[in-house]
Amino acid sequence: MSDRLTETVEQFALVPDTDRLYLLLDYAEQLPPLPDRLSAAREAGLGRVHECQSPVFLYAEVEGETVHLFADVPREAPTVRGLVGLLVETYEGATPEEVAALPEDLLYRLGIAKQLGMRRQQGFAGVLHRLKTSVAEAAR
Amino acid sequence: MADYAHPEVLVSTDWVARHLGDTDTIRVIESNEDVLLYATGHLHNAVHIDWQTDLQDDLVRDYIGAQEFARLCSEHGIRNDTTVVFYGDKSNWWACYAFWVFKLFGHKDCRIMDGGRAKWSAEGRVLTPDVPAYPSTNYEAQEPGGDIRAFHAEVVRHMERGGALVDVRSPQEYIGEVTHMPGYPQEGALRGGHIPGAVNVPWSRAAREDGTFKSREMLEEIYLQEQGLTPKGDTVAYCRIGERSSHTWFVLRYLLGFKNVKNYDGSWTEWGNLVGAPIERGEPEAE
């Protein structure tokens, strides 16, 4: 895990089980709007995470060794918006290697897998997969 | 709404707005696909019940027991004679699902707010993040009843005698082109297709653009005239996991007055994966 993810995991661990999921609402709130230069791609349907039932769009750019992440997720889907917001905030400025090393069992490490329930956990896998592949492609 | 077979189970956003203060006799319950949506804002005085973390028990792949259900209701200050009104996201899918589970445990007065959360928001009505607390009650839950829920063995017998089966999934899922709904890969099955003899009526055909239910006339046109279903016969509805079909179950049972309609909540994730269960692929056979 990257240092920032380790920090995030530690922050989640400080919050009691029953309240931990609500931490995602802050991330949902803080997700920056998509920059204008990406709105054409968004309109064309590029960057959509098809595994998500809600319209989730994720973009990665790599400048030298630095990853920049952008996303658009509806406010009516705060859980996935929060999860995407967490990834964007934690991995903005990371290296492509750090993104590639993102643990697949992140929801367990954050301690929110049980609170999400079995069926919601696996939908998140699509977001992670998209993040990793788009960073890998942009780094090429 | 007055034309429906049981018009009393459907209430308008206006009706709910007028009764938000009647918390002694009415409890408004939000049930969503998104587990955090309620926390971002909800109807004043409404409580939250999650279809998955509150109503299901992963350890047995079943619903919670009568005791847990009684505890859940008691915590939310619901008595056996409380009028419970459900609403939620996604055209009330999960509201209908929660409604069905409450009926399973024998709760008498359940209703749906027509149009759900989307209609309420579209009308510019107030949403609040304040979570209400109610004095605990002593709810007494019945053991879950069987007359609205179909298990696999019963569906097999029903199929064998040519009983009416309504598959409410998308045409692609019904035909067998895809084994899961777009966006829900985790709820797939090893085989694509449908239960032999089932007709395909995607659940969304019962809803208007704004999430409200279509008129009785429009619904009869679809389910009776077009599909040849009959309110007097035995009918079983299914989808993937029983949630879209609880929407159709609600339509058939309460809006069209079907006497005996059951939701097969095992649905395609059970039938499609079951060793020895026959399936059909492709378009329905022409009669």
Return the sign of the alpha-carbon dihedral for residues B276, B240, B169, B165.
positive
Give the model's pLDDT for residue A82.
96
- Domains of chain B, by residue range, sit at 7-122, 152-271
Q: 3-state SS of chain A: helix, strand, coil percent to 5?
A: 55, 10, 30
Contact call for A122 and B185, based on CB within 8 A: yes
Output DSSP code: residue B138: -
From A28, A75, A79, residue closest to B35, measured CB to CB: A79
- Which amino acid type is present at position B170? S
Note the CATH number of domain B152-271.
Answer: 3.40.250.10
Enclosing domain of residue A44? 3-139
- CATH number, domain of A41, equals 3.90.1010.10
Element (H, E) at B246: helix B244-250
Cβ neighbours of B35 in A, within 8 Å = 21, 79, 115-117, 120
pLDDT in tens, B196-254: 999 999 999 999 999 999 999 999 999 999 999 999 999 999 998 888 999 999 999 99
Q: Where are the alpha helices (DSSP H) in B105-203?
A: 116-122, 152-160, 171-175
CATH 3.40.250.10 fits B7-122, yes or no: yes
Q: Which residues pair with A71 in a beta bridge?
A: A58
Residue B190, C-beta contacts closer than 8 angstroms, at least 6 positions apart = B179, B272, B273
Give the model's pLDDT for residue B181.
60
Cβ neighbours of A54 in B, within 8 Å = 183
Instruction: List, by residue number, the catalytic residues of B.
Output: 239
Contact call for B35 and A120, based on CB within 8 A: yes
Band of residue B287 on the pLDDT scale cut at 50, 70, 90: very low
Residue B95, C-beta contacts closer than 8 angstroms, at least 6 positions apart = B29, B30, B31, B86, B87, B88, B112, B113, B116
Give the mean pLDDT of A36-60. Answer: 90
- Which amino acid type is present at position A29? E
Domain count, chain A: 1
pLDDT greater at residue B183 or residue B206: B206
CB pairs under 8 A between A and B: 64
Give the mean pLDDT of A55-74. Answer: 95
- Exposure on the CB side of residue B38, measured as CA atoms within 13 A: 23
pLDDT in tens, B123-160: 999 999 999 999 999 999 999 876 999 999 999 999 99
Cα–Cα distance, A69 to A13 (Å, whole number): 25
Band of residue B60 on the pLDDT scale cut at 50, 70, 90: confident
From A21, A50, A78, residue closest to B37, measured CB to CB: A78
From B37, B40, B52, residue closest to A120, measured CB to CB: B52
- ipTM, two decimals, is 0.86
Cα–Cα distance, B195 to B180 (Å, whole number): 15
- Our CA-based measurement puts residue B35 at a distance from the nearest CA of chain A, in whole angstroms, of 7
Output DSSP code: residue B54: T
Please tell me if the domain spanning B7-122 has the same topology as the one spanning B152-271.
yes
In chain B the first and final C-alpha atoms are separated, in Å, by 35
